[in-house]
């Protein structure tokens, strides 16, 4: 939060500091909308600060996130978000400028959504008995937005890269294809979060192309990507499987049954590419584990000591 608070107008930072520690510790988003109250979301609950975000505040905020050079933001503005120090991502909304039917830039920015990148070291360890048995099982993490998919993915990447000697888990080479700069939170190509020593990241690279680039040039043991769903992703997944690479990835959806109905994912599921499926929800807060399933969708009985949510 430190890097985020430093970029916010002082009066907004002061208002956030007045919130109870229990709320501040679990902040997921800070939404800034010109001429409206500042919104802070903590564990899915919105809190509105007694402060109206002004056009002047927006101009100052843009200047800070652009490091006083709006031109340097142009490429990132095409994507609708930028990543700042600490791995936090700022979503942007305003007037879209098109060129030949494609987004060229966003101007007159009026809304900002600061998504706080959280590292929860160790949250994946209680799930190791389900996804590691002498070797890592290809795993798909399923859940709607803000259910902790990326948090779990990050910790798995760290564990796989560093290994756990006392559990007989060796460190492996991990390739992360981070299309939206959200998993590793790279700034100028450098990950802002902790992943151990054997991780290579392709930042801001489309998943399908990135997976093939990793396979050809970086020889990963495990590939990690988020939010699969396009036809090209499915093709790249099959290429990776045929190359003997383990896959750990996320996809939007509420349940295994729901995603199995999608034509692009149905073929992958039917071929039992994934040995495990982890379903997340917000039932008991972000990261609630609804079920862990085997390769054909059968629910596994959770062992004693398994965390209820991440």
The reply to whether 240 and 157 lie within a common domain is yes
| pLDDT value of position 16 | 96
| pLDDT value of position 195 | 84
DSSP conformation letters of 114-146: EEPP---TTTTGGGHHHHBSSSBPPEEEE--TT
The reply to whether 84 and 160 lie within a common domain is no
The reply to whether 151 and 94 lie within a common domain is no
Q: Could you tell me if 172 and 164 are in contact, meaning their C-beta atoms sit under 8 angstroms apart?
A: no
Q: One digit per residue, pLDDT tens: the chain, 310 residues?
A: 788 888 899 999 999 999 999 999 989 999 999 999 999 999 889 999 999 999 999 988 988 887 744 555 666 677 788 888 777 889 999 888 888 887 777 778 899 999 998 788 888 998 899 999 999 999 999 999 888 898 899 999 999 999 999 999 999 999 999 988 888 878 777 887 788 889 999 988 889 999 999 999 999 999 999 888 788 888 899 999 889 999 999 999 999 999 999 888 888 999 999 999 999 987 776 678 889 999 999 999 876 545 444 4
- 203 within a domain of the structure (yes/no): yes
At 213, which CATH number?
3.40.50.300
- 264 within a domain of the structure (yes/no): yes
- 302 within a domain of the structure (yes/no): no
| pLDDT value of position 74 | 66
The reply to whether 149 and 284 lie within a common domain is yes
At 106, which CATH number?
3.30.450
- 300 within a domain of the structure (yes/no): no
| pLDDT value of position 34 | 96
| pLDDT value of position 73 | 65
The reply to whether 135 and 182 lie within a common domain is yes
Q: Could you tell me if 194 and 256 are in contact, meaning their C-beta atoms sit under 8 angstroms apart?
A: no
Query: Is residue 182 packed enough to be buried (19+ CB in 10 Å), middle (13-18) or exposed (0-12)?
Result: buried
The reply to whether 67 and 91 lie within a common domain is yes
The reply to whether 149 and 218 lie within a common domain is yes
- 137 within a domain of the structure (yes/no): yes
The reply to whether 255 and 154 lie within a common domain is yes
Q: How many domains does the chain have?
A: 2
- 306 within a domain of the structure (yes/no): no
- 303 within a domain of the structure (yes/no): no
User: Residue with structure tokens 């729901």?
Assistant: 258
Bridge partners (DSSP) of residue 99 are 102
Tokens encoding 169: 């888990």
- 120 within a domain of the structure (yes/no): no
The reply to whether 141 and 103 lie within a common domain is no
Sign of CA pseudo-dihedral 73, 76, 77, 83:
negative
The reply to whether 282 and 180 lie within a common domain is yes
| pLDDT value of position 117 | 84
pTM value is 0.79
Q: Could you tell me if 88 and 117 are in contact, meaning their C-beta atoms sit under 8 angstroms apart?
A: yes
Task: Print the domain residue range for 97.
Answer: 2-115
């Amino acid at each position: 939060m430190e890097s985020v608070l430093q970029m916010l107008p002082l009066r907004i930072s002061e208002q956030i500091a007045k919130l109870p520690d229990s709320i501040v510790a679990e902040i997921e988003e800070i939404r800034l909308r010109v001429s409206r109250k500042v919104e802070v979301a903590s564990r899915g609950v919105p809190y509105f600060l007694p402060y109206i975000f002004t056009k002047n505040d927006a101009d100052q905020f843009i200047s800070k996130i652009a490091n006083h050079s709006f031109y340097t933001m142009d490429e990132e503005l095409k994507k609708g978000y930028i990543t700042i120090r600490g791995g936090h991502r700022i979503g942007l909304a305003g007037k879209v400028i098109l060129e030949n039917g494609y987004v060229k830039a966003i101007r007159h920015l009026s809304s900002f959504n600061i998504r706080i990148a959280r590292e929860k070291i160790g949250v994946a360890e209680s799930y190791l008995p389900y996804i590691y048995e002498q070797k890592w099982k290809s795993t798909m993490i399923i859940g709607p937005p803000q259910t902790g998919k990326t948090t779990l993915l990050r910790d798995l990447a760290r564990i796989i890269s560093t290994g756990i000697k006392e559990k007989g888990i060796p460190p492996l080479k991990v390739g992360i294809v981070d299309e939206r700069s959200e998993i590793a939170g790279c700034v100028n190509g450098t990950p802002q979060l902790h992943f151990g020593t054997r991780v290579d990241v392709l930042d801001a690279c489309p998943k399908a192309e990135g997976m093939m680039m990793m396979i050809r040039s970086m020889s990963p043991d495990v590939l990690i990507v988020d939010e699969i769903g396009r036809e090209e992703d499915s093709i790249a997944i099959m290429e990776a499987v045929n190359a003997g690479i383990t896959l750990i990835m996320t996809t939007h959806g509420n349940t295994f049954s729901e995603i199995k109905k999608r034509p692009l994912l149905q073929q992958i599921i039917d071929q039992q590419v994934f040995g495990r499926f982890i379903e997340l929800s917000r039932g008991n807060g972000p990261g609630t584990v609804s079920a862990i399933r085997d390769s054909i969708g059968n629910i596994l009985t959770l062992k004693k000591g398994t965390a209820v949510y991440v």
